[in-house]
């Protein structure tokens, strides 16, 4: 099979060599440079990439992605869309070809979006930007997504176990363009539940609490907004906005709705446990962290947040047990938290303190 990587780039000189190293298992690499003022294009060409330099005005991600896809040769069997701040782990092509059965049009693969300071994985979900050459186009000005344009329903989608892509972003880059592009997306397709959800979340990031609440309530009212995970996320974001406005009763109500909407997710339970922790309701903390820990299978979606699957559930339980005088149970949970985050000095200090208290309590 002919495997071609394609990407868009602007001022990515610092990442060019690392990216080309990780993409070297492909048969070809093509890049649309949208107006770099550094040596991005020259470095990529020197490493063997085919680079076209074309500004995209007005800027929108879907237009740039579609133009970069046009650069892929028509005889390509598999198209792999990545960004220059992403890195495949070695062996990705072999794993991809092993999964790509006849008639396949798309593959999902494991994607690590963020890493913790100690190098452990943060947010992990399954991405789907590997696809067949024909029948696809990118849509939405930002948070762009692949849309099937071929005849009938798309063919089978496979899971490419063993394909791992890591995201190492340049945190100096601004995401200020996201909000106006999301507002544009909602103006263009006001009934698109995905865009409305993303816009409400972006308002949350910008501290626009009332706009966040209004937009996400509209998301929940849309007939197409049926995915329980995303509905629960909208409820959680509304709750956070209510909390920022000082309305803890409304925040609590929305968190409870999120738990009921998606009982298979840890995140709503953990948000509610954190709220109750702040209110000193220790039995509530224990109940909802217990509900979270009873969920053992981590979803493969972008809504699976790292904190809910790390040390936090055990950390909160340790503090709740301590506050209610149950020191052995507190120590047990503190040790579990430390096992999941061994480099955290606060968690290590908690274990040391609790061990001392338990020993004192047990002394005659």
pLDDT for 250 beyond 80: yes
Q: What is the mean pLDDT of residues 192-198?
A: 97
The last residue of one of the domains, among 252, 285, 304, is 304
State the Cα–Cα distance between residues 44 and 12, nearest whole angstrom: 10
pLDDT at 176: 80
Q: Which two tokens stand for residue 329?
A: 């149970």
Residue 126: give the domain boundaries: 3-167
SS3 string, the chain, reads CCEEEEEEECCCHHHHHHHHHHCCCCCEEEEEECCCCCCHHHHHHHCCCEEEECCCCCCCHHHHHHHHHHCCCCCCCEEEECCCCEEECCCHHHHHHHHCCCCCCEEEEEEECCECCCCCECCEEEEEEEECCCCEEEECCCCCEEEECCCCCCCCEEEEEEEEEEECCCCCCCCCCHHHHHHHHHHHCCCCHHHHHHHHHHHHHCCCHHHHHHHHHHHHHCCCCCCHHHHHHHHHHHHHHHHHCCCHHHHHHHHHHHHHHCCCCHHHHHHHHHHHHHCCCHHHHHHHHHHHHCCCCCCCCCCCCCHHHCCHHHHHHHHHHHHCCCHHHHHHHHHHHHHHCCCCHHHHHHHHHHHHHHHHHHCC
pLDDT at 248: 97
pLDDT digits (tens, 9 = 90+) for 62-78: 999 999 999 999 999 99
**Are residues 73 and 50 part of one domain?**
yes
pLDDT at 63: 98
pLDDT at 170: 83
- What share of the chain has pLDDT > 90, as a percent? 93
* Mean confidence (pLDDT) of the chain: 96
pLDDT at 362: 86
Choice between 74 and 363, residue whose per-residue pLDDT is larger: 74
Lowest mean pLDDT among 46-55, 207-216, 316-325, 355-364: 355-364
- What share of the chain has pLDDT > 70, as a percent? 100
Lowest mean pLDDT among 57-61, 66-70, 300-304: 300-304
pLDDT at 310: 94
**Are residues 137 and 44 part of one domain?**
yes
Q: What is the mean pLDDT of residues 169-179?
A: 84
- Closest CA relative to residue 127, chosen from 100, 102, 153, 109: 109
Position 172 confidence tier, pLDDT thresholds 50, 70, 90 = confident
**Are residues 158 and 45 part of one domain?**
yes
pLDDT for 364 beyond 80: no
Lowest mean pLDDT among 22-26, 27-31, 151-155: 151-155
**Are residues 293 and 157 part of one domain?**
no
**Are residues 78 and 138 part of one domain?**
yes
pLDDT digits (tens, 9 = 90+) for 74-103: 999 999 999 999 999 999 999 999 999 999
The last residue of one of the domains, among 142, 167, 192, is 167
Q: In what order do the strands lie in the sheet with 28-33?
A: 50-53, 28-33, 3-9, 78-81, 124-131, 106-112, 157-167, 86-88
- Closest CA relative to residue 213, chosen from 235, 246, 183: 235
**Are residues 91 and 194 part of one domain?**
no
Number of domains in the chain: 3
pLDDT at 254: 98
Lowest mean pLDDT among 17-31, 43-57, 93-107, 168-182: 168-182
Q: What is the mean pLDDT of residues 173-181?
A: 87
pLDDT digits (tens, 9 = 90+) for 255-266: 999 999 999 999
CATH number of the domain that 299 lies in? 1.25.40.10
- Cβ–Cβ contacts within 10 Å for residue 42, how many? 14
CATH number of the domain that 108 lies in? 3.90.550.10
Q: The tokens 């298992």 sit on which residue?
A: 25
**Are residues 180 and 163 part of one domain?**
no
- Closest CA relative to residue 242, chosen from 229, 255, 231: 255
pLDDT at 153: 85
**Are residues 212 and 318 part of one domain?**
no
pTM of the model: 0.92
pLDDT for 174 beyond 80: no
The last residue of one of the domains, among 304, 324, 341, is 304
**Are residues 117 and 18 part of one domain?**
yes
């Amino acid at each position: 099979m002919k495997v071609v990587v394609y990407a868009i780039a602007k001022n990515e000189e610092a990442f060019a060599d690392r990216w080309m190293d990780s993409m070297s298992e492909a048969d070809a690499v093509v890049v649309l440079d949208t107006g770099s003022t550094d040596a991005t294009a020259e470095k990529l060409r020197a490493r063997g990439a085919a680079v076209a330099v074309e500004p995209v005005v007005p800027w929108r991600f879907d237009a740039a992605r579609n133009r970069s896809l046009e650069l892929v040769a028509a005889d390509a069997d598999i198209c792999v869309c990545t960004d220059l701040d992403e890195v495949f782990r070695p062996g990705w092509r072999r794993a991809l070809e092993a999964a790509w059965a006849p008639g396949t049009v798309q593959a999902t693969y494991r994607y690590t979006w963020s890493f913790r300071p100690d190098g452990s994985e943060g947010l992990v979900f399954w991405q789907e930007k590997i696809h067949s050459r024909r029948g696809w186009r990118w849509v939405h000005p930002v948070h762009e997504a692949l849309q099937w344009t071929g005849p009938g329903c798309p063919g089978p989608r496979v899971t490419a176990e063993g394909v791992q892509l890591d995201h190492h972003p340049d945190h100096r880059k601004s995401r200020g363009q996201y909000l106006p592009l999301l507002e544009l997306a909602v103006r263009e397709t006001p009934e698109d539940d995905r865009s409305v959800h993303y816009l409400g979340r972006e308002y949350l990031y910008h501290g626009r609490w009332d706009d966040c609440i209004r937009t996400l309530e509209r998301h929940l009212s849309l007939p197409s907004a049926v995915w329980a995970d995303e509905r629960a996320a909208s409820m959680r974001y509304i709750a956070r906005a209510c909390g920022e406005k000082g309305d803890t009763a409304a925040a609590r109500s929305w968190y409870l709705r999120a738990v009921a909407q998606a009982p298979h997710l840890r995140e709503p339970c953990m948000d509610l446990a954190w709220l109750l922790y702040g209110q000193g309701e220790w039995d509530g903390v224990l109940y909802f962290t217990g509900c979270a820990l009873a969920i053992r299978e981590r979803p493969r979606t972008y809504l699976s947040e790292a904190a809910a699957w790390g040390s936090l559930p055990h950390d909160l339980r340790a503090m709740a047990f301590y506050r209610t005088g149950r020191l052995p149970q507190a120590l047990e949970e503190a040790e579990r938290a430390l096992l999941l985050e061994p480099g955290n000095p606060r968690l290590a200090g908690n274990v040391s303190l609790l061990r001392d208290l338990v020993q004192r309590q047990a002394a005659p």
